[in-house]
């Protein structure tokens, strides 16, 4: 089990956050219905050759368990979440990422996207989760596969993931183009970009 380093801080709750026991559901639009048999995972952009994987192939990527806290920009936090899934770093064995790639855009169903620094994306506590606290992810929390980026605000944790695009230049994703911060570090309160 990888323990996200932020959970080991003396004060685990970032500024301006309050704790919740329950796990709220938040997203834009309605919950997409995704059939695992039809689901595809695409690696695109600055890679030697684009690649598409089925759910079965994806689940054979290196697996990881992570314990992390959730910090939502709407000011709730939920501690001690356990996640099971596929580590982002395992992708490196499946595709050759070109050296110009410095950012990623993680894509989700219905045109959702969120941008991350390549180094943040490949941080060892980042994973594509299929289980939370021992149970299969529910549709409203992003099944069959969601990203979890423990050290950034939770909007970076794309639900209903469909693929990853490698990029040389940074570009705003869905919430970022609506004014959310390009990086989103909860300890620096990187909530919104200045107008």
Ligand X SMILES: Nc1nc2c(c(=O)[nH]1)N[C@H]1C(S)=C(S)[C@@H](COP(=O)(O)O)O[C@H]1N2
- Cβ(130)–Cβ(66) under 8 Å? no
Q: Which of 28, 75, 92, 188 binds ligand X (CB under 6 A)?
A: 28
Select from Mo ion, ligand X, none the partner in contact with residue 112, using the beta carbon and a kind-dependent cut-off of 5 to 8 Å.
Answer: ligand X
Give SS3 for 97: strand
Q: What is the pattern of x (binds ligand X, CB under 6 A) and - over residues 106-125? A: --xx--x-------------
- Cβ(70)–Cβ(147) under 8 Å? no
Q: To the nearest whole angstrom, how small is the minimum distance from the Cβ of residue 155 to ligand X? A: 3
Q: Binding of Mo ion at residue 121 (CB under 5 A)?
A: no
Relative to beta strand 40-45, strand 161-167 is parallel
Give the distance between the most distant pair of CA atoms in the chain: 45
Select from ligand X, Mo ion, none the partner in contact with residue 28, using the beta carbon and a kind-dependent cut-off of 5 to 8 Å.
Answer: ligand X
Residues 51 and 30: their CA atoms lie apart, in Å, by 28
Q: Which of 155, 160, 166, 174 binds Mo ion (CB under 5 A)?
A: 155
34 is written with which tokens? 């995704």
Q: Binding of Mo ion at residue 174 (CB under 5 A)?
A: no
Within residues 31-90, the interface with ligand X by CB under 6 A covers 72
Compute and round to an integer the Cα radius of gyration of the chain. Answer: 16
Q: Which residues bind Mo ion (CB under 5 A)?
A: 26, 155
Q: Which residues bind ligand X (CB under 6 A)?
A: 23-28, 72, 108-109, 112, 141-142, 154-155, 157-160, 175
């Amino acid at each position: 089990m990888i323990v996200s380093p932020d959970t080991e801080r003396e004060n685990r709750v970032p500024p301006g956050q309050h704790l919740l026991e329950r796990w709220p559901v938040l997203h834009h639009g309605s919950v997409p219905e995704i059939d695992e048999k039809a689901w595809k995972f695409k690696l695109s952009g600055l890679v030697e050759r684009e690649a598409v994987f089925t759910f079965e192939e994806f689940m054979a990527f290196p697996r990881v368990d992570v314990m992390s806290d959730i910090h939502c920009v709407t000011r709730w936090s939920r501690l001690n979440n356990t996640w099971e899934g596929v580590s982002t770093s395992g992708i490196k064995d499946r595709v050759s990422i070109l050296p110009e790639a410095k950012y990623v855009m993680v894509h989700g169903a219905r045109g959702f996207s969120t941008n991350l620094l390549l180094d943040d994306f490949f941080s060892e506590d980042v994973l594509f989760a299929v289980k939370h606290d021992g149970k299969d992810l529910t549709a409203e929390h992003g099944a069959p596969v969601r990203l979890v980026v423990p050290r950034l605000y939770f909007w970076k944790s794309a639900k209903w993931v469909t693929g990853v695009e490698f990029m040389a230049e940074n570009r705003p994703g869905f919430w970022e183009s609506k004014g959310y911060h390009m990086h989103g570090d909860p300890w620096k309160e990187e909530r919104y970009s200045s107008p």
